[in-house]
Structure 1
Amino acid sequence: MSAAIDELAPGTHAAIFARQDAWHRLGTTVTDAFTAQDALEKGHLGGWDVRKLPLTATEITEDGVTTVDVPDQFATVRTNPVTGTVEPLGVVGKSYRPIQNEAQIDLLDAIVDESGAHFETAGSIRGGKQTFVSMKMPRDILIGGKDAVNLYLIASTSHDGTAALRFVTAPVRVVCANTLMEAHRSATSTFSIRHTSGAAGRVQEARDALGMTFRYAEELETEANRMVDATITAGWFDQYIRDLYRVKPTDKFDDLGKGTRIALAQLRSLWENSLTLDGVRDTRWGAYNVFTEWVDHYSQIRIAGDKDAARAQRAVAHKGTVSLKRRAFDLALV
């Protein structure tokens, strides 16, 4: 399972995490929240000098070597901050303007003091083509008056021309390529910046993103609390998990595949017996949490060795798993 974290040199990865190691254990983990300068230095995101170089094509034949200029096309490159090597990132047009990692991090740094947020993760993926920086917001989403859900403001951009500088808000701790993808997919609001601007503009853009984050928090909290208030029956739960696995009403249990039969039986048992559901068991929020608990701790894993560790990795890094969790949330909505 690949995290796609950028390896700048053997054993040196462009990533930094606050307090908690990422599942892939790559990059640098610090014991407390880190600063913008830490992201640039310890996370190896500074000094890239992303720039455009004129693009040429070379043809080698029996008659010799021919070099042809490619009009209005450029290669984006960076200077590897560890080795000093110039490395290609992508191909862009003449209107493309690189946004340096320093600018991306400065945008979030502008709201650290006024929001109470702190840097949580930062890194580079896919050989430097994309970067991400996330901040943990000071206010958790409170479900049912007691169940706290962390919320993050995430800034990401590309250096290969495939994406703008984008802010999203999501309850996802971004640590790799797939968790970044899930944060983008699950976010209900986004804010993009397609060009650089002056200092005053950057601060205002960051504040706009902060406002977006708090609006998102309120919306998600409202949705989840509606799920807490919506009571369910055993029959509703059985239909819910059958819908998750796209089991048709006419399908008999004994005719289902072995894996599906095991999953449905385990989910029903967990709904009836899990102590973590006390107080919300007979609600749609409880049904959703049954599924996430099963995925994270009980679902089948077909590998030798530490199955718990492999299951934990799959829960955050496998595209199918994170998509299924989102589907479980959507199906539980009132």
Structure 2
Amino acid sequence: MGWKGILGFDYGIVQAPLGPDISGPELVAAVANAGAVGLLRAPDWEAPDYLRELIRKTRTLTSKPFGVGVVLAFPHKENMKVILEEKVAMVQVAWGEYPRELVCEAHEAGVKVVHQIGHFEEAEKAKNAGVDAIIVQGHEAGGHVIGLDGLVSLVPRVVDLVSSCGIPVIAAGGIVDARGYTAALALGAHGICMGTRFVATVESFAHPLYKQSLAELDETKYTNIFGRSRWPVPHRVLQTSFLMDNGQLPDHENEDSKPIIGHSVINGIEKDIRLFAGTAPNARTTGDVERMVMYAGEGVGLIKDILPAGELVKRLVEETKHLIQQLLIA
């Protein structure tokens, strides 16, 4: 096993399941081929046949293990059946509980379960359910953010909670480079999970303007104005010029009453995109992309280029090794 391997993978680097379909087969395969953990994102609706196709397409691009991320807040039972039938290496679940009986069902199929949490109480439930690893999402994270605690306070508490059980803890939120990886290890984490940095890669299925904006802009905003009618939870987004001019939305308003500003094909289905929708632009998106939501974590100001995903993994490992060696010598 390579440096800081977790869950049977070579390296302790997890590529977050990026929605709506930004972490597609090409990105996941590139991450897996580099020895890290690549995660597809299951559709936010029941689409078992489509999900099976995604999994099988990914297998044509890599012989390495990979996983699938599932948002439990959306319909997922049929999708989960496919994940277990296809026996992917792991399933990452978030935004809900995944009780012990379902963990046992996954284990019977040979699938590991990784639960992403944002509150200490959620970590206790995940531990009791017998999960194989816990991703601790800090408030610094991009996209939909579960909790309010930062990584510096939350990660050590979860590490202490599960230390006697041998459950690996993976830190997520604002991490984009070797310094963030090293800091996470110092907090007791066994690995890191990155979303924003993997959006800004060659193989991600994000719209080119979204990728470019991640490399050019530096600030984020924690808000609740995007996608209220579909999923009214707080999220961290890139501080674009549109957001700076339109950062407030009355509590009684949502995207349903707003004009259509674009169109896309998401997980095989044609979709209209309205102003203030929660749908990040993928590569098939057309229209006024500059006014669409672009999720990003607090570390976005450190992203200056669009790299191949495999090169990103290689750099992270080598630079983190070097940094740790320097710190030990000092």
TM-score category (smaller protein): under 0.3
Q: Based on CA coordinates, which of the two structures has the bigger radius of gyration?
A: 1
When the two structures are superposed, what TM-score results if normalisation uses the length of structure 2?
0.26
Q: Relative contact order (C-alpha < 8 Å, sep 6+): which is higher?
A: 2
Q: Report which of the two has the higher share of strand.
A: 1
